[in-house]
Amino acid sequence: MTDTDSPAPGAPEVAARAAATSLALLAAGTDRLLRTVAALDPEALAGPSALPGWTRGHVLAHIARNADSLVNLLDGARTGTDIPQYATAETRDRDIETGAPRPLDVQLADIRDTAVRFTAAAAELDEKAWTAEVRHRSGITFEASEIPWKRLMEVEYHHVDLAAGHTPAHWPEEFATAEFRRLAARLDGAPGLPAVLLVADDTGERVRTGAPDGGPALTAEGPVRALTAWLSGRSAGDGLQVHQDGRQLADARAALPELPPLG
């Protein structure tokens, strides 16, 4: 197939191919998560996670219920109906609270079973269904082909949030690079945010975030995983070097600007 014969973005075959790529990454990421959960001390579930106010049990309950919520979106794409991601916001929050104190074996089985349900629901979509518009619980709409990546984000980010030994350094490069681009683009031109040039010294990626006027006041350089960890709120700048006017600053964590919440 030549470039001129390539399907346009949004074509069913493009959407299906994007979904398949994300599903492969998700399968590997889910396996890693399940291994971490299986190795936890049962008493550790009541301990604090990296998310304020949530125990590890809260994180695991959320991961499982998120899978079911995205199955709703997959089913909606397949059937052409507008199925809400969650019945209500209150139901979502209540299910996480009631699921948090469950024993480790129950939590592990729930995550495994919901992953199987997600995979089975995804397998039922044909190429055209992957182009359907679905609605996130926040109200935004997006193509169904993005659902597997959104699930991958939940698995990879919350695996780190468990605070159980899995860190941003364990993220697959493909995931970290794609998220680096996505998160940096979100902050490009953000008003009130000082301009920062981000340089991934292992992949060669260079992006600018913050105010569009003037040259970047700071340059932050380091591995793409460390940059993504900072952009996603999973670190305060660990593993990064920060320069100002060609001079390396002693404390990268203190030099980097505070980022707006992800929302």
Residue 88 CB coordination number (10 Å): 10
148 & 194 share domain: no
Calculate the alpha carbon distances from 119 to 81, 96, 136, 243 in Å.
20, 22, 19, 45
- Is 261 inside a domain boundary? no
Q: Which residues contact 7 (CB under 8 A, 6 or more apart)?
A: 13, 14
Torsion of CA 35, 120, 123, 141, to 10 degrees: -90
The domain spanning residue 206 has which CATH number? 3.30.1050
Q: What local confidence, expressed as pLDDT, does residue 8 receive?
A: 52
φ/ψ (deg, to 5) at 48: -70, 140
76 & 38 share domain: yes
- Is 263 inside a domain boundary? no
198 & 121 share domain: no
Q: What local confidence, expressed as pLDDT, does residue 213 receive?
A: 78
142 & 201 share domain: no
182 & 118 share domain: no
3-state secondary structure of 192: coil
- Is 260 inside a domain boundary? no
Q: CA 117 to CA 144: how far, in whole Å? A: 16
98 & 177 share domain: no
Q: Which residues of 48-62 are buried (b: 16+ CB within 10 A; e: fewer)?
A: ebbbeebbbbbbbbb
| Strand-pair category, 196-200 with 218-222 | parallel
Question: Which of these, 156, 164, 155, lies nearest to 48 by C-alpha position?
Answer: 164
Are residues 198 and 208 in contact, defined by beta-carbon separation less than 8 angstroms? yes
207 & 235 share domain: yes
Q: Pick from 166, 190, 215: which residue ends a domain? A: 166
Question: Which tokens sit at 225?
Answer: 């995983």
Q: At what angle do helices 12-38 and 104-123 cross, to 10 degrees?
A: 170
63 & 128 share domain: yes
Number of domains the chain contains: 2
Question: Which of these, 112, 144, 141, lies nearest to 127 by C-alpha position?
Answer: 144
192 & 103 share domain: no
pTM of this structure:
0.93
142 & 232 share domain: no
- Angle made by CA atoms 161, 36, 232, in degrees to the nearest 5: 25
Q: Which domain holds residue 90?
A: 3-166
- Tens of pLDDT, residue by residue, the chain (263 residues): 333 343 455 699 999 999 999 999 999 999 999 999 999 999 999 999 999 999 999 999 999 999 999 999 999 999 999 999 999 999 999 999 999 999 999 999 999 999 999 999 999 999 999 999 999 999 999 999 999 999 999 999 999 999 999 999 999 999 999 999 999 999 998 888 889 999 999 999 999 999 887 778 899 999 999 999 999 999 999 999 999 988 999 998 899 999 988 76
- Is 243 inside a domain boundary? yes
Q: What local confidence, expressed as pLDDT, does residue 10 receive?
A: 63
DSSP H helices, the chain, are 12-38, 56-79, 89-99, 104-123, 147-161, 173-187, 224-231, 252-255
φ/ψ (deg, to 5) at 242: -120, 130
